[in-house]
Structure 1
Amino acid sequence: MTIHKEGYKSILISAIIFAIINLASFRFFSPSMAWLTWLIFILTLGLVFFIISFFRVPNRKLTQGSNLVIAPADGKVVVIEEVYDEEYFKDKRLQVSIFMSPLNVHQNRTPVAGEVVYNQYHKGKFLVAWHPKSSTENERHSVVIRYAKGEVLVKQIAGALAKRIINYMSVGQKVDQAAEMGFIKFGSRVDMLLPLGTKVNVQLNEVVKNGVTVIATV
């Protein structure tokens, strides 16, 4: 396991806050309130470990295949339905959505190998990530990858806690399957829009892993 580069600053800040709070606690609370200083120490240490865990990047054997669509995110499948895409395709697509809780790995990966043909950031709201309108009204970053058998649109969507979407893609870029696409900080969601008729290999509420789980076969 490694720590994602996006986490260095957050981990450093949390460590500094941890040190300041506990130095003040041990200095100003009397010996008769030692239990309180230890409680503060345990709670703040737990917070530091949570921040470190949030930015973890586990070592995984990545799944690859030209006929496979791989999970772009860790989390739970919360939507599998036909929708009309107004942003790029202007027609009906099959939407598969993955909800990421704050406990999930938040690195995002490309579901297919191909060329980035569309990359667009959208300002928006911060509805809870499982809200039906979060796909179209929340802050989000959309990327379309053209591959041998068509195109897939991937949306990184901010949630009520996620306030920063990081995307490393650019139009014209050639990407490998399961390559790093970006990172979303603190609880969010990723949508994929696939061609109608795509065979989906997962079910609602199934837990998936980025770069590993086969979402669909094309």
Structure 2
Amino acid sequence: MSLANSLSLVLSPPHPAGKPFIYGGAAVAVVGGLILGPWLFWIGVAFTLFCLYFFRDPKRVPPQERDLVIAPADGKVVLVGPAIPPAELEMGDAPRWRVAIFLSVLDVHVNYSPVQGRISRIAYRHGTFIDASMEKASTENERNALRFDLPDGRQLACVQIAGLVARRIVCSVREGDQLLAGDRFGIIRFGSRTDVYLPEGVKPKVLVGQTMIGGETVLADLATSPVAAAFG
């Protein structure tokens, strides 16, 4: 990544969900510093700068091809394999390919629509806050699951999962909304994971350990042959 691109990423304007934290940190720096001294001022400044970095919302350019599934978040792929979508999405109990992306506190935490489609169901579920990189985080952690209906009738799921530090999942879309691939649909505050359950017969093109750029990196090709996508 070039220096210009790196600076553009770091200096990106914040997501609206981060503004209360940014304003709060600034208030602590100014008011607390005036009343209690410079130590509180510097704590407020440090917290404000961290929030400006954490909640950055850079511009992303998704691929132009329509038959692609793109990464819904920045981060590292920690799981690739067959799994059953969350029961609350009512997508059946047949396993399909899942890609799990872990977001550290240093990653951009904005979530992007992985496909063009209609959101036919959104289901929130309370849960625990264990390390999001663990397998059982998919079933035990707090999560918000979205079901996408593709133009050809197939379905895809995208699940926002809270992590060890995260305590707030923000979803800015509603059931019935039509999204394009790369459209923003939410954010998870302070460490998390985002899982994608691909349409039946579609196999991912990524491997565990790869780094994803949300809204840009290709996860799968929707034109994949069901025979070629069989589990193996």
Which TM bucket (shorter chain)?
Answer: 0.7 to 0.9
- Give the stretch that moved more between structures: 170-179 or 80-89: 80-89
- Aligned position for 2:226: none
2:109 pairs, out of 79, 98, 106, with 106
Q: Larger Rg: 1 or 2? A: 1
Aligned to 2:57: 57
Residue 25 (structure 1) shift: 5.8
The alpha-carbon distance between structure 1 residues 85 and 4, as it changes in their structure 2 partners (threshold 3 A), is closer
Following superposition, the deviation at residue 40 of structure 1 comes to: 7.0
Are 1:71 and 2:71 an aligned pair? yes
Residue 101 of structure 2 aligns to a residue whose secondary structure is strand
Structure 2 residue corresponding to 1:10, chosen from 21, 45, 60? 21
Mark the runs of 5 or more structure 1 residues left unpaired by the alignment. 27-36
**Contact map agreement 2:26 2:44 (CA 8 A) in 1:** no
Which amino acid is the alignment partner of residue 122 of structure 1? Answer: R
**Equivalent residue, structure 2, for 1:151:** 155
Distance in 1 separating the partners of 2:138 and 2:64: 27
Which of 199, 203, 219 is equivalent to 1:199?
Answer: 203
Structure 1 position 131 matched with structure 2 position 137: no
How many residue pairs align between the two structures?
A: 207
Maintained 8 Å contact 2:57/2:108: yes
Structure 2: which 5+ residue stretches go unaligned?
1-11, 223-232
Instruction: Tell me the amino acid that sits aligned with residue 144 of structure 2.
Output: H
| Alignment check: 8 A CA contact 1:64 1:178 kept | no
State the 1:179 CA deviation: 0.8
RMSD of the TM alignment (CA)? 1.8
Structure 2 contact 21–48 (Cα < 8 Å) conserved? no
Greater percentage in strand: 1
Output one character per residue of 1:174-218: Cα deviation in whole Å (capped at 9) or x when no partner: 111111111111100000111344232222111111111001111
Q: Give the residue type in structure 2 aligned to 1:7.
A: G
